[in-house]
Amino acid sequence: MPEPRNIHELKSLQGKLAYLRRFISNLAGRCQPFSRLMKKDVPFEWDEACDKAFKSIKSYLMKPPVLVAPIHGRPLILYVAAQERSKLKHYFQSHSIHLVSKANPLKYVMIKPVLSDRLARWYLQLQQFEITYVPQKAIKGQVLADFLADHPMPAEWELSDDLPDEDVLMVEIIPPWKMYFDGASHKEGAGAGVVFVTSEGEVLPYSFTLTQNCSNNVAEYQALIFGLEMAVDTKQRHLKVYGDSQLVINQLLGLYEVKKLSCSHIITMQKG
């Protein structure tokens, strides 16, 4: 694995490392020397600190440590990748399998009264294993934004943004509102979801249907714009924004460069 020679190769390297982040201990700390080169208008200079960090990551990947030995009686979570040919089938048949996912695909297959040829073959293959479904945990607040993005409000519905009127009896320092945003694009269209958590802990969910088909990144941008516009309308001067798109957040902060012209005007609107 050669060392990066320019900013594009460095971004490619960090993208590959981000895909393996759950298997690399303290990845953020190991990549800390690279963060300076990712900033805007900073010349690419591969110094000694970057070279040391790169060699450390390379050595770590060549000799991955065993963090803990398997404990008898406790489930062992195994991350696998799908391939055209099956491997190690007999190993899985002798152990119970925990399926960690947001939805339970096995339930969908089992409750259908009539299965197609392909689903029937899959169902017979799965009957050989002892599979237990484990719901995937989600961040509080972010799960609502994900749900609203996947199930947008129909266009004919009226959006209600009425807030209860309250008299100010005293002046006090209150914590800022929190905003969670998310966008999603699929074959039936695109949608955006925004969830506000007020200073009192009240949850205000909103969902939107995008009239034009777009990519997931553009849907994320639109969700952020909708949320910021609503925050301005409600006169929220201090707001903490949370999102699961590292690309959108870093481009908004100026850490990442915006290459597509279709997204540059959206970033300008957000900063304005």
How would DSSP label each residue in the chain?
-PPP-SHHHHHHHHHHHHHTGGGSTTHHHHTGGGTTTTSTT------HHHHHHHHHHHHHHHS----S---TTS---------SS--SHHHHHTSEEEEEESS-HHHHHHH-SS--HHHHHHHHHHTTSEEEEEEPP--TTHHHHHHHHHSPPPTTSPPP---------S----PPEEEEEEEEEETTEEEEEEEEE-TT--EEEEEEEESS---HHHHHHHHHHHHHHHHHHTT--SEEEEES-HHHHHHHHTSS----HHHHHHHHHHH-
Both tokens of residue 181? 């945003």
In a domain, 71, yes or no: no
What distance in Å separates the CA atoms of residue 263 and residue 265, rounded to the nearest whole number?
Answer: 6
pLDDT at position 86 is 65
pLDDT > 70 fraction of the chain, expressed in percent and rounded:
68
Considering the domain architecture, whether residues 248 and 151 belong to the same structural domain is answered as yes
Considering the domain architecture, whether residues 210 and 252 belong to the same structural domain is answered as yes
Domain that holds residue 106: 89-135
Query: 101-105, 131-135, 189-193: lowest mean pLDDT where?
Result: 101-105
Considering the domain architecture, whether residues 156 and 247 belong to the same structural domain is answered as yes
Q: What is the mean pLDDT of the chain?
A: 75
Residue 236: φ, ψ to 5°? -95, 100
pLDDT at 99 over 60: yes
Domain of 255, CATH number, reads 3.30.420.10
Query: 7-21, 127-141, 152-166: lowest mean pLDDT where?
Result: 152-166
pLDDT digits (tens, 9 = 90+) for 7-61: 888 888 888 888 777 777 777 888 888 888 888 888 888 888 888 888 888 888 8
Section 120-127 average pLDDT: 77
- Cβ-count burial 28-63 (b if 16+ within 10 Å, e if not): eebbebbeebbeeeeeeebeeebeebbeebeebeee
What distance in Å separates the CA atoms of residue 191 and residue 94, rounded to the nearest whole number?
Answer: 43
Considering the domain architecture, whether residues 245 and 157 belong to the same structural domain is answered as yes
Kindly report the pTM of this predicted structure.
0.33
* 230 vs 247, more confident: 230
Both tokens of residue 4? 């990066």
In a domain, 231, yes or no: yes
Q: Residue 142, exposed/middle/buried by CB under 10 A (0-12, 13-18, 19+)?
A: middle
Considering the domain architecture, whether residues 147 and 236 belong to the same structural domain is answered as yes
* Residue closest to 22 by CA, chosen among 100, 82, 96: 100
The model's confidence at residue 225, banded by pLDDT at 50, 70 and 90, is confident
pLDDT at position 44 is 84
Considering the domain architecture, whether residues 205 and 254 belong to the same structural domain is answered as yes
In a domain, 58, yes or no: yes
pLDDT at 153 over 80: no
pLDDT at position 32 is 85
pLDDT at position 211 is 73
Beta carbons of 177 and 131 less than 8 angstroms apart: no
pLDDT at 159 over 70: no
pLDDT digits (tens, 9 = 90+) for 196-207: 888 888 888 888
Counting the structural domains of the chain, the total is 3
pLDDT at 167 over 70: no
In a domain, 79, yes or no: no
Considering the domain architecture, whether residues 180 and 260 belong to the same structural domain is answered as yes
pLDDT at 65 over 60: yes
The residue to which tokens 């990845």 are assigned? 27
pLDDT at position 50 is 87
